[in-house]
Chain A
Amino acid sequence: MRTLTVGAVLALAALLVPDSAVKSTEVELVKVNRAETVDVSPDVVWILAVGSDARPGEDMTHTRGDALQLVGMNTKTGAATAIGIPRDSWVSIPGHGTNKINAALYFGGPQLLGQAVGNLVGVQPDYVFISRFEFFEDMIGDIGGIDVNNPIAFADDFIKPKGFKKGRLHLGGYDALAFARIRHDLIRGDFDRSANQQRVLRGIQSTVRAKADQPGFIERGVFSVIQHMHTDLSPVELYRLGQAVAQVNPGKITNCVVQGSIGDMGGASVVLPYVDQARRYGDDARKDATIKRC
């Protein structure tokens, strides 16, 4: 498993391309045959996307992950899937007994976190991407914001007092981060928040795909990522990954969140994840990055 710290690849899901109204007197439509592909090895790339709650000055590779999404991307078919992991999931952490899964980042850095998530789902990530809040906000701003479909209104007295309305929303950097972080007002807490994180990922990928046509968009994006991260990947590998993200087909994206029961461990509220379900997701998506049903 390779490890790097970056934000821009929190982007492997998508929204449907919006329908366009066409006036026949103004636009001529022609039938267009189109083909596309990206050669990235392996065919199915697994990336653990981590949102770190590191504050300025903290080493974000040794804090606690605030958002955990295991993302698979099939570069042959354009399919992608995101498996959301509640951050409070109580699991075995190799060499450190049992603890909340996001503590693995604190104990052993990205490698150990990747291992812990990989053991839960049964799919080991090829890459671990970690982003901190500031860069995440900047990245959303750089791409001009994102659109999400919000199924239910919610708010947070501190982060977003005015809240988010139900429906289709356009979010800038701060709002996208708030949308992905808030959980207290959500009926199902961490599970709903994980689903919201997947909505943000969809929005990012959708924007990236839509703007990939713009001359130099991918090149500027990858350049920005390289400027802001530490990585053992070569620029060539990053460039190929960036192009692969843009090739994900919005119609071939599936998202699921690992469910669980709420427990108490030494006074701390934790999620006892349904391991069988997590493994089923992993087994289902391992070879083709597609989950048939949640």
Chain B
Amino acid sequence: MRQRTRHGSWVIAAVVVVGLATGGCNNSNDGGPGAASTATSSASAAQVVTTASVGELAGRLPQARRDQLVSEVRQVVDGWIDAAYLSGDYPRTDFAGSWPGFTARAQAKAERDGDLMSNRDIGASIDGVESEKRQVTLDVLSIDKQPVGVTARVVLRFATTGDTVKDVRVAGRLYLTKGKQGWQVFGYDVSKVDL
């Protein structure tokens, strides 16, 4: 795990990142029905569902294809959010398999960044997690009307119970491309902050 606190500018930059991600939820430039499509995540009924939409689009992408893209990428992001933060029996120390939609290398790096990319840092001292906000905004590169690259701007906020009671916000960007196994996360820039 790297902690970027050497320069004040980095902290500012990170805050800006979070601000952009938060403010980007209404930034859909398509305005079409692909925006703000929602679905129930795999979390329990008490959990908040993920709102997902297309933000910026470079190139052309038919509406039906946008809807399909939003659905596919949301599944990947939900897979990570649930496995890494929200699901599982807490207290929990085993976070292996928390990055199901990641490439092998990205998965290995995420495991090394496990305190940020999962709840490994607090898992043993909490007995429950309740999500408060799950939001994904997709910036899409489309070539010949086919999506080839996506930046998924993610905002997750949840509360913990147990010995460690706090609100946590995970925010940042996941980078995805589509391969034989569908959409996969090949990179990320994510921050995790206690609120």
Contact = CB atoms under 8 A, between A and B. Distances in A.
Q: Which of A33, A36, A210, A240 has the most CB of B within 10 A?
A: A33
Interface of B: 1-5, 7-17, 20, 24, 27, 55-59, 103-106, 109-110, 113, 115-117, 137, 139-141, 143, 148-149, 151, 153, 172, 175, 177-179, 186-194
B9 A216 contact: no
Interface string A49-64: 0000000000000000
A262 interface: no
A280 to B, nearest CB: 30
Given A29-B11, A39-B103, A215 B20 contact: yes
Interface in A1-52: 17-20, 22, 27, 29-41
Given A36-B189, A36-B190, A215 B56 contact: yes
Contacts of A220: 56, 58
Given A17-B9, A29-B11, A37-B109, A222 B117 contact: no
A216 B56 contact: yes
A81 interface: no
Interface in A228-248: 234-236, 239-240, 243-244, 247
Contacts of B190: 34-36
B191 A34 contact: yes
A20 B14 CA distance: 13
B9 A215 contact: no
A223 B59 contact: yes
B115 A33 contact: yes
Given A31-B5, A36-B189, A213-B17, 9 more contacts: A32-B11, A33-B3, A35-B116, A37-B188, A39-B103, A39-B106, A215-B55, A215-B137, A235-B148
Given A20-B9, A32-B11, A219-B141, A39 B105 contact: yes
B151 A218 contact: yes
Contacts of A18: 9
A226 interface: yes
Which of under 10, 10 to 19, 20 to 34, or 35 or more describes the interface residues of A? 35 or more
A239 B141 contact: yes
Contacts of B106: 37-39
B193 A216 contact: no
Contacts of A41: 105
Given A19-B8, A30-B15, A35 B1 contact: yes
19 contacts: A30-B15, A32-B5, A34-B116, A35-B109, A35-B116, A37-B106, A37-B109, A39-B109, A41-B105, A215-B20, A215-B56, A215-B153, A219-B139, A220-B58, A236-B179, A239-B149, A240-B177, A244-B187, A247-B187
Nearest to B189: A36
A236 B149 contact: yes
Contact of A20 (B8, B104, B137, B179): B8
**5 tightest A-B CB contacts, nearest first:** A216-B56, A239-B149, A38-B187, A35-B113, A223-B58
A214 interface: yes
A223 B141 contact: yes
Contacts of B20: 213-215
B56 A239 contact: no
B174 to A, nearest CB: 11
A216 B58 contact: yes
Contacts of A76: 109
Nearest to A36: B189
Contacts of A32: 4-5, 10-11, 14-15, 191, 193
A249 to B, nearest CB: 9
Contact of B12 (A20, A31, A33, A36): A20
A139 B92 CA distance: 49
A52 B140 CA distance: 31
Given A34-B189, A38-B186, A235-B149, A216 B57 contact: yes
Nearest to B6: A251
